[in-house]
């Protein structure tokens, strides 16, 4: 049950002296997969790299497919604003529930939740953000006691002013990153050469 080469697709490279190829493989169970796209031209291999853009269907059953492009080897990687580079990875509620609260709720939202937690005595009666925090609290800290949730929210509120990477800060950098990524992609598309394999 090994993979066997079924066919080879190819096209002429940009300089016209060589070709770009991709082999397709199949096995005994009628599964098929494509191999890597290879530049078989010394001149073009020095100038270009192959970029794969993978697309996924709306449903899992739709599968996925790839488009391939040649991109100049010296084309720079994206180095614009980045949420992760600026503030680090998002907090995982299982390890840093306080950080997770600060990163996912504004100070006003946490204050509103705190007010609700002072009034409501049963976690099943919580609504809105408080109900969502309760659900996450149960998953991360294994308790839905209102007093425990209130203590977590109070810790987050006391840490909020000094915390770098709160919800508003992260949303602002995300907006900047989205705009910068769109500009980068728009410029990058101008330098790509589509590979149409036959």
Per the structure block, which two tokens stand in for 17? 């002296």
Q: Which residue has the tokens 């996450």?
A: 136
Enter the pTM of the model: 0.76
For range 6-15, the mean pLDDT:
94
150: Cα within 13 Å, side-chain hemisphere: 14
Name the pLDDT band for 1 (thresholds 50, 70, 90): low
Q: Around 106, how many Cα atoms within 13 Å sit in the side-chain half-sphere?
A: 6
Q: Write the pLDDT tens digit of every residue in 126-170.
A: 999 999 999 999 999 999 999 999 999 999 999 999 999 999 999
d(CA 23, CA 164): 50
Mean pLDDT of 9-21: 95
CB 195 within 8 A of CB 48: no
pLDDT at 62: 83
Cα 14 to Cα 11: distance, rounded to the nearest angstrom: 9
Residue with tokens 């580079």: 85
pLDDT value, residue 109: 98
Q: What is the pLDDT of residues 44-73, one digit of tens each?
A: 999 999 999 999 888 888 888 899 999 999
- Asked whether the predicted pLDDT for residue 198 surpasses 90, the reply is no
C-alpha to C-alpha distance for 145 and 150, rounded to whole angstroms? 9
Residue 96 pLDDT exceeds 70? yes
Per-chain mean pLDDT for the chain: 94
Per residue in 67-81, pLDDT tens?
999 999 999 999 999
Task: Please enumerate, as own/partner, the contacts of 93-97 that have beta carbons within 8 Å and a separation of 24 or more.
Answer: 93/136, 93/139, 93/140, 94/139, 94/140, 97/136, 97/137, 97/140, 97/141, 97/152
What tokens does 108 get?
Answer: 């006003």
Domain residue extents for the chain: 4-75, 83-175
Hey, which residues does 67 pair with through a beta bridge? 53
- Among residues of the chain, what percentage have pLDDT more than 70? 99
């Amino acid at each position: 049950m090994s993979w066997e080469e079924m066919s080879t697709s190819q096209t002429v490279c940009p300089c016209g002296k060589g070709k770009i190829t991709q082999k397709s493989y199949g096995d005994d169970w009628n599964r098929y997969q494509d191999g890597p796209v290879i530049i078989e031209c010394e001149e073009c291999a020095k100038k270009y790299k192959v970029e794969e853009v993978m697309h996924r269907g709306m449903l899992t059953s739709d599968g996925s497919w790839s488009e391939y492009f040649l991109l100049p080897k010296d084309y720079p990687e994206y180095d614009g604003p980045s949420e992760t580079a600026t503030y680090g990875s998002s907090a995982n509620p299982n390890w840093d529930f306080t950080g997770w609260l600060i990163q996912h709720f504004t100070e006003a939202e946490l204050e509103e939740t705190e007010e609700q937690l002072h009034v409501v005595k049963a976690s099943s009666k919580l609504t809105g953000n408080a109900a969502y925090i309760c659900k996450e609290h149960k998953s991360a800290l294994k308790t839905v006691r209102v007093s425990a949730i209130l203590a977590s929210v109070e810790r987050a509120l006391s840490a909020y002013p000094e915390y770098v990477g709160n919800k508003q800060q992260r949303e602002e950098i995300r907006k900047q990153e989205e705009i910068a990524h769109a500009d980068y992609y728009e410029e990058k598309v101008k330098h790509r050469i589509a590979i149409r394999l036959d």
